[in-house]
Amino acid sequence: MNLELEQHSLVSIIIATYNQSHKIGETLESVINQNYENWECIIVDDKSTDDTKNVVHKYCEKDSRIKYYYSSKKVKKGPNAARNHGIDKSRGNLIMSLDSDDLLNERHLEFKVKAFEDNPDIDCVLSNTILVDDSINEIKKENRTLLTNNLLEDFIVLKVSWYMHDTMWKKSFLEGKKLYNDDLFKMLDRDFHIRRLLENPKIHHINKFLSYYRVYANSNSSNQDVNVLESRHFAVINIIKLLKKENKLSKKIAYFYLKFQIRNVVVFYKSKKCIPSYFELIKHTFTFNFKNIIWVFRLILAYLSFKLTDRGLVLVK
């Protein structure tokens, strides 16, 4: 066993929560039931107004490895700021994040710590997720979780996909870096993972389904929020600029982001920042070819149609 891990193999599980008093108990039970016992669970409450505090306190009394923090005024509102605060509070040399309504297989930590022990040069261990409904009935397995020879591009264009809790990181790899973007309301973990992939981490993939991700019937409702789309749009612009700086903005990535963001015009047209935001997108992603011209033409028509009639979805499908 690697000496560093033998002495300090503490896993810090970071949970940001907001008004999840009805779900967080199940999540914490899945943590408590882990076969691997050397962990701490840091819960950062993002100013909940329900009974979350009392529910979590009962678990803190039950298991001293669970720590509860209520976000202070100094911590920005939002799950990403809460996650960053939790990481600051953590003591483990291995770090993972977990949403307060998702669940871990009882061998989740065991398999991942073992992978770090067997591969001391790696920075991250990745596993797979099963998508479940509210009653934890399986919907499907996420089969896009894999490693490829062109991982950054494949992840961005969704050929490869994983969830926040699928990754466990060496804390030493994360230190001194921008972690979760606390300006974001959407695309939270994808933004985090794209920036990590730009840093060329050594990732080990365990091809096992070790997590359960809840999918809700109204899970896409936030996509109709103009503020959410504004935050995501500017996050995409920042990622594009970063990719250009690192000379990793391929034509495939640029086209994916152009098309993906133009499709958001169905809601984004309501934003006062819509036109300058799309000019910024086009400036960084457009190259002169037929496909790009068609999508910019669709954008113009859809924007005008929505402004005049509140209709135009067919133009950007």
Burial 206-237 (b: 16+ CB within 10 A, else e): beebbbbbbeeeeeeeeeeebebbbbbbbbbb
Pick the CATH number of 3-214 from 3.40.50.300, 3.40.309.10, 3.90.550.10, 3.40.50.410: 3.90.550.10
Q: Is the pLDDT of residue 220 over 60?
A: no
* pLDDT, tens digit (0-9, with 9 covering 90-100), for 107-145: 999 999 999 999 999 999 999 999 999 999 999 999 999
| pLDDT per position as a tens digit, 243-268 | 999 999 999 999 999 999 999 999 99
Looking at the chain, the domain(s) classified CATH 3.90.550.10 span 3-214
CA–CA separation, 114 and 4 (whole Å): 13
Q: Of 95, 100, 44, give the one whose Cα is nearest residue 68.
A: 44
Q: What is the DSSP letter of 29?
A: H
- Rounded to two decimals, the pTM is 0.92
